[in-house]
Amino acid sequence: RNQELKSSGHCLVLSRLANAVTPLWRLPYQEQLQVKYESQRKILQTLASRLEELGIDAQKPGGLCCPLQPVVPSPIINGYRNKSTFSVNRGPDGNPKTVGLYVGTGRERNIVCVKANHVENIPSKHKQVAQCYEEFICQSPLDSCILFHEGGHWRELVVRTSRRGHTMAIITFHPQQLGQEALATQKALLKEFFTSGPGAVCALTSLYFQESTMTRCSHEQSPFQLLHGAPHIFEELLGLKFRISPDAFFQVNTAGAEVLYQAVGELCQATGDTVLLDICCGTGTIGLSLAHQVSKVIGVEVVEKAIEDAEWNAAFNGISNCEFHSGKAEAVLPQLLASWEDARPLVAVVNPSRAGLHYRVVRAIRSCRAIHRLLYISCKPEGEAMRNFLELCCPPDPRKKLAGEPFAPVLAIPFDMFPHTDHCELVLLFTR
């Protein structure tokens, strides 16, 4: 009976994790697409209502602010993620060194870390690396770091893979009071485990180690230390080769990204004399994939290592009409556009994080008369992106220093970059 209860409890927690990470996993894929279409329709209805409140006649058929196309399906439905982040915490069995994903909340104080072996959007290679990392830290005398103030060392694992068969593992470690000699010992043990020990089965292309006393830490704050292998992994996308650093942004669904970028290229309506402004460009994937359609690409990205990747990617692929600027978009873009005198058509593509664009970026875009066409790519359009949409479309507002003619939404296309989840990538086309 105890065994039966243990088994049923295990199944329950597995279902809770699947429901939390991939809430649509029980639905046939066509039904998933319909659920996502309805959620995007509600977002466009909300935007139309918010624009009406600003005195803008934005109501289109169905109460939408612009036509909404059907959700474009993902070419791959299962195991599509090329990047996974695994936490270390207590598991359902009480093991404080369980490597998996969280179920529960801090507020409820019921967080438990569950192995992700059954989660459908994570590839088997990622699960294999997570299992090996758990095996390593379980044999380590050092504790896992669950709460910073309680001590412990072993923290999260990030796994990145490519269709070329490359695998990068990044392990975060809280140094606490350990000296350099003790740290060197842990790094040597970790390298030995993954190169000649049980972890060698993972065949890692790159093994990184980062000492961090924060929840998230950039390379500039605490450098990624290469313990083994090559400093980068490589991916092919739309016939181009891309170099990826540990913390560089790259769409998590590579096959879906190809479909997305092809559509972006068509929506840009770029001609041979067009200049493409790629804001939040990451490793340059969008700009470089469209470089052959335009006269020039200008990319802006806050992650310095991603810009280094973008410049390498351009040179390696023989693309010479791209320039990339490192820094916060709100610092770089106003300077870049304030003195814009180029007579060529300027099309902007923005692909920000969930935090959306800084208001100075929106202000700079609106003030640049050369931009008549803008593509906003958002993985969470109901969040901070909604604020950006309203700032782009509202009448000129001297109080907010929003000058220039407003934009108007003319077309929305959702792309299912995240099957089994309730998220999708929305491309919203604005013109003026």
CATH 2.40.50.1070 fits 83-230, yes or no: yes
Low-confidence residues of the chain, pLDDT below 70?
A: 1-10, 106, 218-220
**CA–CA dist 404, 211 (Å, integer):** 46
What is the predicted pLDDT for the residue at 220?
66
- Of 322, 379, 393, 424, the catalytic one is 379
Which phi and psi (to 5°) does residue 378 adopt?
A: -135, 135
Dump pLDDT digits (tens) for 78-94: 999 999 999 999 999 89
Residue 287 near residue 350, CB atoms below 8 Å: no
Q: Is 301 annotated as a binding residue?
A: yes
* Nearest alpha-carbon partner for 349 in 298, 279, 301: 279
Residue 260, amino acid: L
Domain ranges of the chain: 83-230, 253-431
What is the predicted pLDDT for the residue at 1?
40
The maximal CA–CA distance of the chain, rounded, in angstroms, is 78
Name residue, tokens 């804001």: 279
What is the predicted pLDDT for the residue at 304?
87
Q: Is 135 annotated as a binding residue?
A: no
Which phi and psi (to 5°) does residue 265 adopt?
A: -60, -40
Q: What is the pTM of this model?
A: 0.90
* Nearest alpha-carbon partner for 207 in 233, 179, 182: 233
What is the predicted pLDDT for the residue at 4?
43
Catalytic site residue 379? yes
**CA–CA dist 378, 375 (Å, integer):** 10
Rounded (5°) CA angle 383-389-393: 160
* Nearest alpha-carbon partner for 331 in 300, 353, 370, 286: 300
HEC letters along the chain? CHHHHHHHHHHHHHHHHHHHHCCCCCCCHHHHHHHHHHHHHHHHHHHHHHHHHCCCCCCCHHHCCCCECCCECCCCCCCCECEEEEEEECCCCCCCCEEEEEECCCCCCCCEEECCCCCCCCCHHHHHHHHHHHHHHHHCCCCECCCHHHCCCEEEEEEEECCCCCEEEEEEECCCCCCHHHHHHHHHHHHHHHHCCHHHHHCCCEEEEEECCCCCCCCCCCCCEEEEECCCEEEEECCEEEEECCCCCCCCEHHHHHHHHHHHHHHHCCCCCCEEEEECCCCCHHHHHHHHHCCEEEEEECCHHHHHHHHHHHHHCCCCCEEEEECCHHHHHHHHHHCCCCCCCEEEEECCCCCCCCHHHHHHHHHCCCEEEEEEEECCCCCHHHHHHHHHHCCCEHHHCECCCCCEEEEEEEECCCCCCCCCEEEEEEEC
Compute CA distances 172 → 28, 155, 202, 231, whole Å.
37, 5, 18, 17
Name residue, tokens 């092809």: 262
Residue 305 near residue 248, CB atoms below 8 Å: yes
Compute CA distances 19 → 26, 70, 109, 131, whole Å.
9, 25, 19, 21
Q: Which CATH number is 253-431's, of 3.40.50.150, 3.30.160.270, 3.40.50.300, 3.10.580.10?
A: 3.40.50.150
What is the predicted pLDDT for the residue at 305?
85
Which phi and psi (to 5°) does residue 169 adopt?
A: -120, 135
* Nearest alpha-carbon partner for 364 in 398, 389, 330, 393: 330
**CA–CA dist 19, 193 (Å, integer):** 34
Q: Torsion over CA of 306, 301, 424 and 38, rounded to 10 degrees?
A: 180
